[in-house]
Structure 1
Amino acid sequence: MTTTEPTEPSSGGPPQGSGFDFNQPTVIALLYLLSFATGISGLIGIVLAHVWRGDNREAWADSHFGYLIRTFWFGLIASLIAGLLSFVLIGFLLFPVIAVWAGVRSVLSLVKAQKREPMPDPATLLF
């Protein structure tokens, strides 16, 4: 007769038995991605990012907060510049580039947050 001992959940990954971990960086990244459809959820995401950053106790998540906060603010600034440049038509070409940039950064953060891994370089403007 074999007995099974209860196993402790690992602290390095998502909780055992669940397919998706709704940790704080994941929620923010999902709100950013949802803003492509709603247009407003990104504002909720940036507020949560700033609030949760102060409450955070995990080092891996702190890198995500910095990364996602930079994604929002630089995306907003770039969109405002593209809006001004749309008067000379080049701005219309910049909007899709900004959308892809923000989308890729949000997805990268989402994937890393699911693994509870830190962002390699949260201060970068690239990926």
Structure 2
Amino acid sequence: MTHDPSPHAPQPSAAPDAGSGRLSGRDAAKLVYILYFVGFFLPLCALAGLILAYVKRGEADPLAAGHFEFQIRSFWIGLAACVIGGLLAIVLIGYAVLALWVIWALVRFITGLLALLDNRPVRDPDGFGFTA
């Protein structure tokens, strides 16, 4: 017995990257935020997020590209804060620097992810501020 496909069968999506096995810009930006969160426990995950953000930045739509810029800048500022905090830990003030970095990074990543989930751009991708 043969089966004729129904005219009501689901049609392939016309969305970019659908079915191609490729990660869309917005999905990649979500993944970068997740990798940054995991990076608090496994630092190499944050590095993987940075690499993904650099790779996907050029081909992303403007919304995702702004998030990638924000994520890349967050990584480099965070790395600088960790190095400074680590060096200053010798005189104990470094622990305060590291604690402030954790708060700063968490707020940036949470507000950035929430903005992305709401399809909102980052207000100032090049800024040092707490929120996206």
TM-score by length of 1: 0.78
Q: 1:84 aligns with which of 67, 80, 87?
A: 87
- Structure 2 stretches lacking a partner, 5+ long: 1-12, 16-25
Q: 1:40 aligns with which of 31, 40, 44?
A: 44
What is the DSSP-based 3-state SS (H/G/I as helix, E as strand, rest coil) of the residue aligned with 2:58?
A: helix
Within 1, Cα distance between the matches of 2:28 and 2:43? 20
User: What does the per-residue CA deviation read over 1:34-60, in whole Å, with 9 as the maximum and x for residues that have no partner?
Assistant: 11222221010000000010221x111
User: What does the per-residue CA deviation read over 1:79-108, in whole Å, with 9 as the maximum and x for residues that have no partner?
Assistant: 101111111110011111101111111111
Conservation of the 8 A alpha-carbon contact between 2:28 and 2:56? yes
Q: Which has the higher contact order (CA 8 A, sep 6+)?
A: 1
Runs of 4+ displaced beyond 3 Å: none
Within 2, Cα distance between the matches of 1:120 and 1:54? 19
Percent identity of the aligned residues? Answer: 34
Which residue of the partner structure matches residue 14 of structure 1? none
- Structure 1 stretches lacking a partner, 5+ long: 1-8, 12-21
Conservation of the 8 A alpha-carbon contact between 1:25 and 1:109? no
Larger radius of gyration between Structure 1 and Structure 2:
2
